[in-house]
Amino acid sequence: DAMVIQNPRYQVTQFGKPVTLSCSQTLNHNVMYWYQQKSSQAPKLLFHYYDKDFNNEADTPDNFQSRRPNTSFCFLDIRSPGLGDAAMYLCATSREGGNSDTQYFGPGTRLTVL
Amino acid sequence: GDSVTQMEGPVTLSEEAFLTINCTYTATGYPSLFWYVQYPGEGLQLLLKATKADDKGSNKGFEATYRKETTSFHLEKGSVQVSDSAVYFCALNSGGYQKVTFGTGTKLQVIP
């Protein structure tokens, strides 16, 4: 089945140790998103790609970076994780990003920072 | 800016009870409105959507009507099941891919 896949599902890292989360999609969608979701809160958009065009939200910390080497894959790099970065990270895609487009989410990666 | 307000949970219902989860919004222009559902341990998935005023979205027995006059998109189901236990997010998109705004989510627990 076409889908959005995230690896790993659970990631444990140490304070300050870089970590990379990955996302792949078989939907061939143009737009890919990374969200941060903390417990009992709404998903918070970190950034998105329209094809290769990168768009950073104004309040996304510099500690968070992203790469999209091709249509199918997108990576979230956290350069120096702090305790406050522990959260669920959700990857999503949409076909063109129009205002009626559905977003398709992966299962998420739960990041723990020790 | 855009915002979505949902009723706070958790909401606990007995099986076969009627469900309403309230959602109101403020937005510029003419947003599309969505309900997403998040089952335990999973990502969000679209439950239903409506793209213009008076449209009704429906799926799996759930319904919501886009009410522009009251800026609301309340989610309803006539008879809930234990398998409906999840967190429900109301969302809007008023201007393309950078403009999706989610509510804080409402946790529903259905007991047998």
Residue A28 CA to residue A21 CA, distance in Å, equals 20
Give yes or no for a contact between B103 and A109, defined as CB atoms under 8 angstroms apart: no
- Of the candidates B16, B39, B55, B71, the one whose C-alpha atom is nearest the C-alpha of residue B47 is B39
* Model pLDDT for residues A58-112, shown as the tens digit of each residue: 889 999 999 999 999 999 999 999 999 999 999 999 998 788 889 999 999 999 9
Q: Do A99 and B95 touch (CB under 8 A)?
A: yes
Instruction: Test B43 with A45 for CB contact under 8 angstroms.
Output: no
Secondary structure class of B23 (helix, strand, coil): strand
CA separation for the pair B1, B106 (Å, rounded) = 22
- A20 contacts A12 by C-beta, under 8 angstroms: no
Q: What's the sign of the alpha-carbon dihedral A6, A81, A37, B93?
A: negative
Q: Is the pLDDT of residue B111 over 80?
A: yes
pLDDT band at A56 (very low <50, low <70, confident <90, very high): confident
Number of inter-chain CB pairs under 8 A, A vs B: 66
Q: Which residues of B touch A101 (CB under 8 A)?
A: 93, 97
**Dihedral-angle region of residue B61 (phi above 0 means left; psi in -120 to 50 means alpha; beta otherwise):** left
Chain A within 8 Å of B69 (Cβ-Cβ)? no
Within an 8 Å CB–CB cutoff, is residue B42 touching chain A? yes
Residue predicted with more confidence, B13 or B95: B13
Q: Which helix (H) or strand (E) holds B102?
A: strand B100-102
Cβ distance B39 to B60 under 8 Å? no
| Interatomic CA distance for residues B57 and B77, integer angstroms | 12
Closest CA to B72 of B10, B17, B1, B7: B7
Chain A residues in contact with B99 by the CB 8 A cut-off are 99
Q: How far is A36 from chain B (nearest CA, A)?
A: 12
* Sheet strands side by side (includes A73-78): A4-7, A19-25, A73-78, A64-67
The confidence score (pLDDT) of residue A62 equals 92
Instruction: Say if CB A14 and CB A22 are below 8 A apart.
Output: no
Cβ count near B48 (within 10 Å): 19
Q: How close, in Å, is residue B89 to chain A by CA atoms?
A: 8
SS3 content of chain B, % helix, strand, coil (to 5): 5, 55, 45
pLDDT digits (tens, 9 = 90+) for B28-44: 888 999 999 999 888 89
- Nearest Cα to Cα of residue B65 among B77, B80, B50: B50
Q: In angstroms, what separates the C-alpha of B21 from chain A's closest C-alpha?
A: 16
What percent of chain A has a predicted confidence (pLDDT) above 90? 79
